[in-house]
Every structure is written in structure tokens, then in C-alpha cells.
Structure 1
Amino acid sequence: MSGFQVRGWCPDAWRPMAAGDGLLVRVKPRLARLTRSQVLGLCDAALTLGNGLIDLTSRGNLQIRGVTEARWLPLVERLIALDLVDADPAREKRRNLLVAPDWQAGDDTHRIAGDLLAALDTLPDLPGKMGVVVDAGPVPLLADAPGDFRIERGVEGPLLLRAAGRANGAPVAAGDAADALVRLAHWFIDTGGTAAGRMARHVAPLPDWASDRIAPAAPANPIAPGPHPLGASLGVPFGQVDARVLADACAAWAAGVRITPWRSLLVEGAGLREAAFITDPTDPLLRTDACVGAPACPQASVETRALARQLAPLVSGRLHVSGCAKGCALAQAADVVATGRDGRFDLAFDARAGASSTHAGLSPDALLTLFGTD
């Protein structure tokens, strides 16, 4: 297995991460939503101060790619002016909040997420990869999304506060949910959770008031591309879109755009007319994960996405094409995984990136031949 570097933090606007194509500057839209003017402003910033590519992340965030060090602070200033980044780096760091994107104004998800944003200054300094999930709709949508503290619906209907790694949660009232989550975050720090790094690895018993006694409701499927009560869900191949394409499409859209953790946009009031996006819920690219690959990532030795497009129609299950053994695009196992190593691919089945391979050292052509191409 090729070596790779594991980072113990996630980038944000004030702490960008270096990639092969420049700095990655992460943008965390409040309540996962951007207004039409914010989308257009973000696209213009990505084109003038980055390389024009925008990523959608599994935490419902955006990343502007290809930013030089000289353009980083001007970009941050633009994002602050758009109200997409907090001017206080400490507050921006705390704003690791994943919200179910189908919220309606005034519902539990909307109100609790707003309460948490208002209470950011009371949160302790948590390890860099920790995050909060607010998924308080009638049925959970974000059961598979990463998060250390979760507010979600219980099996009998009440709201729950649940700690990652625990199967059940404690009931909370909607008006108390944000305060209870802040209290649990302080308990995590006070009981030595920083050393564990994540809630799921923290072995201290939960306090009695937060004990896990009620099961969460069964989750619904993620929002698929197609019509939606809010407008339309549009898939974004590999979670990356050209800012010109997004700006052109947004010019015809209505008031707002929600960012989902499923590499898709939930567009308020839009129809299914956007050729640059996925509108077919059976499109094989929806079950295909591929990182940015070489040369954009310095840890990758192979190109990934062109190959993934060729392989996707040939694979019946989940496909993962990874530029290296780190497996950034998909943390869990896939039915088929091709992992880049020294310019070639190792192929495995029902495995994660970097697992022991069934076929090793394959060229892209050899890999395609195994799946029946000429």
C-alpha cells in the first residue's frame, strides 16, 4: 500500500488545506442554504480568485479550489461580505453544523439549527473533525452522515439528543435541544474526550440526563435527483461543478439553493431542465465515488474521474475509484473499489480503498477489460 498523510482537522475558510491544484477553501453555508445572490457571488469569487471549480462535501459544505496564497485573504474577505464566512475565525471553526436540507421555515430542524448558530460562542473548542447534525424532520435523513452529536427524531416521535457510537438517545424538548447539545459538548471535553478525538471513540459513560434510552426513528432514503416539494434535486457528478456552469444555471433559478451531503443541490422553485446536472435517479454516477485524483491531489498517482465515468455503467453496485489508499471519496466499503498505487490500480471487491486486492497493478485499459470492454 502506498503511504499517505492523514490530517487530524478539516479545512475551513480561515484554515485552508493545500492540494495539488492550490489551496482548498471551505465554505459552510448557514442552514445549508445560499440565496441566489450568494451563489452568484460565490461563483464569481471562485472564477476570479480560484480555478473556477467548486466541490460539494459530505458535510453539506462547499470548497473553492485552486486558490493561491496571495489570493486567499482577498477570497475570505469576499466570502465574509457575502455572509458565507464568519469574520471571527474561532466562530467559523465552531460552525461545523450539518442540517437536513429539506427543512421548512419554522420547523424543528430550522429552529434548532438557528438556536445552535446563536449559541456558537458557548460551545467549547472541540477536536477539528468533530461536527453536529440536526436532523429533526418527521423521519431522519442523515443517519449515515458524519456527526458526533445528533439531534434527530425518536422512534415514537420525540426529539432525541444522541451521541455518536450510541445506538439510542435521550429525549429533549425542541426549545431545550440546543442548550442540551452544548452541555453534552462540555461534558465531552470535561471527561477527557479531546484525547479520543471523536465522540464515537470516547468511552466515558454518558451523564444520566443524556443516557441512551430511546431508539431513533428508521431513516428515510436520501433525497434523490428529481422533483421535490421545494423544487428539484439536481445531482452533481463526483460532487464537483464548474462555477461558470453553476452561475449560468442559477441565473434561471429562484430564491435559494440547499447543499446536500449527497453530492446534490436542492434548488428552490427549479424544474428539471439543467443538462449539466443529474436528473435521473437511476444514473450510475449516483452510485459512483471518485476523489479528485492526480494531478489535483498530491497524494494521488492516478487520474480517477474519467476512468470512473467509463466504469460506472459496467458496475451494478457501488463503485469507488480512489487516487490513493486514503479513500477520501468514500470511507466505507464499496462493491467494487479501484485504488491507485504507483500509477496503476489495485482492484478489490466488497472492500474499502487500500484493502487487499484481487487484481494488482492494473492499467486503466486492463481494468476496463476485466469488466467486459473491448
Structure 2
Amino acid sequence: MSPGLQRTGNAPAVPQVAAASLRRGACPSLAAPMQTGDGLLVRLRPTRPGLPPSDYVLLAQLAAEHGNGLLEVTARGNLQIRGLRGETVPRLAAALAEAGIDFHRGVAVETPALSGLDPQEIADATPLAASIRDALGGPLSMLRLAPKLSIVVDGGGRLNLADMVADIRLDALRGGESLFWRISVGGDAKAARAVATVADADALAALTIVLKALDGAGPAARGRSIHVDGLKDALASMATEGSPGTPPAPSPSPIGRHEVGMRGVLGIGLPYGAADTASLQALMRGLSGLGATEIRLSPHRALLALGLSADNVEAAAVLAEELGFWTRADTPGNAIAVCAGSAGCASGSFDTRAVADLLTASATDLLDGSMTIHISGCPKGCAHPRAAGLALCGRSEGIGLVLGGLAGDAALATLSQQAVGKVIENLAAKIRERSLKGETAHRTIERLGAGTILEAVQQGRQ
């Protein structure tokens, strides 16, 4: 048995929290929770593609009993429970094991939320992903891989993963009746560097070569840093000649109504990625009463409700909206990435969600979906570890306004908490007044440049 695990009767192994595991730099799990400003955080990826609503009722209850009562869905479609303590993590793990809710461990291998159900998909990514997990847990378990290494296996479809950044991507392609996988490293489907396109039968062997190359480069090696020329040479004997096709374009938002074959699917957005126990339990009980049989996690902080009749999809949307959830892709808050802030994290220097509410109330011209606005309570930028169109970041001297960068990047200006609302309102007004016909907010800001933002800052401080 692995160190840090113990068995309770006939139950699955329950992790014991070691002080050394309370660290950053690794994906937080039940065996290795991460210390944050509001306690310990665990991130969970269910082994089953979907869970019944009753399981989410239980998860919400456990989040309240052992954590701070919030259950989050991340941008990559994982569950998070935060506010845990050292003594409550094993209790949470034992309760999940008793309920038969199991989670993936080790390297993240991610597939589209509707894999195996979507008639538009090029291939069902589930079997290849399962083979990869088996290999990582067996013959490849001795490889030294970066703790946060991620592998995307994208079979395409309505809700594909083309916009998800990964260390290694396998994107399904069709050439006649044959299935191929395009292997690339260090990016999303558009930006990742292609290594080879291989037949379906060679995909696992080709991936093994890439993983061994990462192992050889050291335990911190990631897809963005690996040299592709050597990989291309190593995979030359498997690579197909020419290209059977190109990966699909990024899919629409998962939030909203979807027709997947004969299935009606409702994508439900958690406001800023989080829901409290009472709201989530009420939602799940209501969905179950309307006929929902399965809830799947989705990237972009969403839940997908399956099993609803066409009529009940609308009834479910009304229920979700009444409880404060989002069911429209154009809901302004979808354009905002926000962390827990000072209300839920000791590292946060201001109330991030209050600022997010200010934006949705008075700056909707900035929230057309063309860019992400990142509101971060501190420079770590946990909610959006990528460049954002605009970022508001808590710092010792105030709230830094960053244009086109990470939360911790150099600020264009520093604002007081009292001035933030007025500055953003002024900026939204300038975008509305100066945008060209058909121009997005992001493109307008790029065209107008930093000078316009500084002008809005000065006016907001007056």
C-alpha cells in the first residue's frame, strides 16, 4: 500500500494528510490537499463520466460538513472543495468512499464532457483515455512526470476541448474510414506544436514515447519546454504521410441548451464557478424531480444535466435561474474569472465577487465574451493562470490594473478599492462610444491602447 494511505475495514484506502503534502506545485487531491488562504483545498475528477443528482446532493452536504460549504467547478471542469482542515480531509475521503464515489488520481487525462454520447464527435475519446490511465498506473508508473502534467484526448464534437491548453494533446482526425490522432505539445489545438499524426492503433505507443521524453527531461518538464524535433524523429516510423484533416474549431459555451442527437442537455453555469450547499442541493433535487438522470462536469465552470425531456429542459432552466445559476451563454458574468477573494481566502486583499457584481451591473460593454476579465485577490492568479484581456489584481498598494497579461504582471495603474467601480464604468462607456461597427470589446481595447485605459483611470479617480 502507498505511504500515506490506510484501510478502514473493507473500505477503500483513505488518505492521511501529511504535512509535506500541504504544498503548492502539485494538483491538490484527497491524498495531497493544497494549503490556501482559507484552509485546505482538494480538487476531484470523478472516475464516472457523470454522477446522479443525488451524489451532488451528498457532495454539497460533505462540503458543508468538512469544508466551508462551497463546491466549485473549475475552468477545466473539475470539482473543488475548499476550507478543509487536516482532520477533516480523511473524514471527507472516508465518506466519499462509503458512498462509492471514486476519483481519478495521478496525471490529469481529460476528455470532452459528452464523450461517447455526441453523434457529432469524430471519435469517442473514452477508450483511449482509459488505456492511457491504465498505462500511467501500471507500466509507466515509474516515469518522473511534472505534478501538474495534463493530457487532453479530444474526440471532437459539439463540446470539444479545442480551447483547452495541455502539455500533450491527442486530437481525433478522420481519413476516410480510418481514425487518426494528431499528437501535439504545449498549448490548445491551435497553438500546440504538432509532433506527429498516428493511426489509432499506434496512439498509446506514440504517447509513451512523448512521456518518456518528458521523463528524460526531468520531473519539472512540461509540454511547452520540450524540443519537438527529437520527438518527430522518434515518431517518424509511426507518423502518417500528409494530414487526414485538422482538429475542429473551439466549441460554443457549454452553458445553455444543447441538442445532442435525440438528447436534450442543459448546461448550467455556476456563478463565478461556485455554489453554496443550499443552492446546489435545491438545484439537484429539482433536476431529479424533472427527470435528470446524470450530471456531467464541463470545462468553463459548468454542469451538464442529461436525461431531461425537451419540455423539461426549459423547466429546468427556469428552476436554475431562480436559484441564481446561469443558463445562457451570453450571461455577462461568464466573461469574468474570479477567485474567492477576501470573503473566502486569507490571501485575497479585496472582495473579488463584489467587484465582479459591479462589472455585471455597470460595465456590460466589456463583457461581450470576446475576452476574459480576471479579478484576482492576490498576484497568484489562481482563477485564471493565463493572460486575460484585463486583470484586476490585489496588491499591497491597492488593486493593480493589468492590460493583456497575468494577474501578477506589471500594472498599468493602481486603483483604490473605492475607485475600481467608477474606473471600470468609465472604461466601459469609452468602449461603447468609440467601438466601430461589429467590433468586439477586446478588439476596441487593442485598437485604442493603454492611453484610453489611463484616461478612464484618471476620470475615475476624480
- Residue by residue over 1:255-276, the C-alpha shift from the partner in whole angstroms, topping out at 9 and shown as x without a partner, is 2111112011111134222122
How far apart in 1 are the matches of 2:111 and 2:404? 30
How far apart in 1 are the matches of 2:269 and 2:380? 25
- Residue by residue over 1:56-75, the C-alpha shift from the partner in whole angstroms, topping out at 9 and shown as x without a partner, is 12332101111121111011
SS in 1 for 2:80: strand
Match of 2:423 among 366, 370, 373: 370
CA contact (8 A) 1:338 1:347 kept: yes
CA contact (8 A) 2:52 2:293 kept: yes
Match of 1:188 among 207, 214, 217: 214
Q: Alignment RMSD, CA only?
A: 2.8
Partner of 1:171: 197
CA contact (8 A) 1:85 1:92 kept: no
Matches within 5 A, 1:274-353: 274-275=320-321, 276-312=324-360, 313-314=362-363, 315-316=366-367, 317-342=371-396, 344-353=398-407
- Larger mean CA deviation between 139-148 and 269-278 belongs to 139-148
Matches within 5 A, 1:18-33: 18-30=35-47, 32-33=49-50
Measure how far apart 1:193 and its partner are: 4.1
CA contact (8 A) 1:150 1:162 kept: yes
- Residue by residue over 1:94-133, the C-alpha shift from the partner in whole angstroms, topping out at 9 and shown as x without a partner, is 4x12111121259522322333344432333421010111
SS in 1 for 2:105: helix
The alignment-based identity, stated in percent, is 29
Gaps of 5+ in 1: 1-5
Match of 2:300 among 238, 262, 265: 262
How far apart in 1 are the matches of 2:105 and 2:250? 30
Partner of 2:27: 10
CA contact (8 A) 2:350 2:417 kept: no
Closer, same or farther in 2 for the Cα pair 1:35/1:114, shift >3 Å?
A: farther
Partner of 1:113: 129
SS in 1 for 2:138: helix
How far apart in 2 are the matches of 1:173 and 1:180? 10
SS in 2 for 1:234: strand
- Residue by residue over 1:317-361, the C-alpha shift from the partner in whole angstroms, topping out at 9 and shown as x without a partner, is 53111112222212232222111112621113233213332321x
Pair 1:136 & 2:155 matched: yes
Match of 1:242 among 251, 271, 276: 276
How far apart in 2 are the matches of 1:211 and 1:193? 26
Pair 1:160 & 2:181 matched: yes
Closer, same or farther in 2 for the Cα pair 1:263/1:309, shift >3 Å?
A: same
Partner of 1:208: 235
Normalising by structure 2, we get a TM-score of 0.71
SS in 1 for 2:342: coil
Match of 2:113 among 89, 92, 101: 101
- Structure 1 residue identity aligned to 2:180: L
Partner of 2:6: none
Partner of 1:358: 412
Measure how far apart 1:211 and its partner are: 6.1
Whichever structure has more helix as a proportion of its residues is 2
Measure how far apart 1:11 and its partner are: 0.6
- Residue by residue over 1:282-336, the C-alpha shift from the partner in whole angstroms, topping out at 9 and shown as x without a partner, is 1110101111112533332222111112123502453111112222212232222
Measure how far apart 1:50 and its partner are: 1.7
Measure how far apart 1:40 and its partner are: 2.5
Partner of 2:266: 232
Gaps of 5+ in 2: 1-22, 187-191, 427-459
Closer, same or farther in 2 for the Cα pair 1:122/1:149, shift >3 Å?
A: farther
Measure how far apart 1:183 and its partner are: 4.5
How far apart in 1 are the matches of 2:197 and 2:226? 21
How far apart in 2 are the matches of 1:62 and 1:367? 31
- How many correspondences in the alignment? 361
- Residue by residue over 1:74-107, the C-alpha shift from the partner in whole angstroms, topping out at 9 and shown as x without a partner, is 1111222344445xxxx7224x121111212595
CA contact (8 A) 1:134 1:152 kept: yes
SS in 2 for 1:348: strand
How far apart in 2 are the matches of 1:11 and 1:39? 20
Pair 1:92 & 2:122 matched: no
How far apart in 2 are the matches of 1:36 and 1:17? 27
- Structure 2 residue identity aligned to 1:217: P
Match of 2:96 among 58, 62, 79: 79
Closer, same or farther in 2 for the Cα pair 1:371/1:187, shift >3 Å?
A: closer
Q: Which of these two proteins has the greater Rg computed from alpha carbons?
A: 2
- Residue by residue over 1:214-253, the C-alpha shift from the partner in whole angstroms, topping out at 9 and shown as x without a partner, is 4741323243321112410011111111122222211233
CA contact (8 A) 1:155 1:218 kept: no
- Structure 2 residue identity aligned to 1:262: H
Normalising by structure 1, we get a TM-score of 0.86
- Structure 2 residue identity aligned to 1:218: P
How far apart in 2 are the matches of 1:156 and 1:353? 42
SS in 1 for 2:358: helix
SS in 2 for 1:77: helix
How far apart in 2 are the matches of 1:81 and 1:260? 25
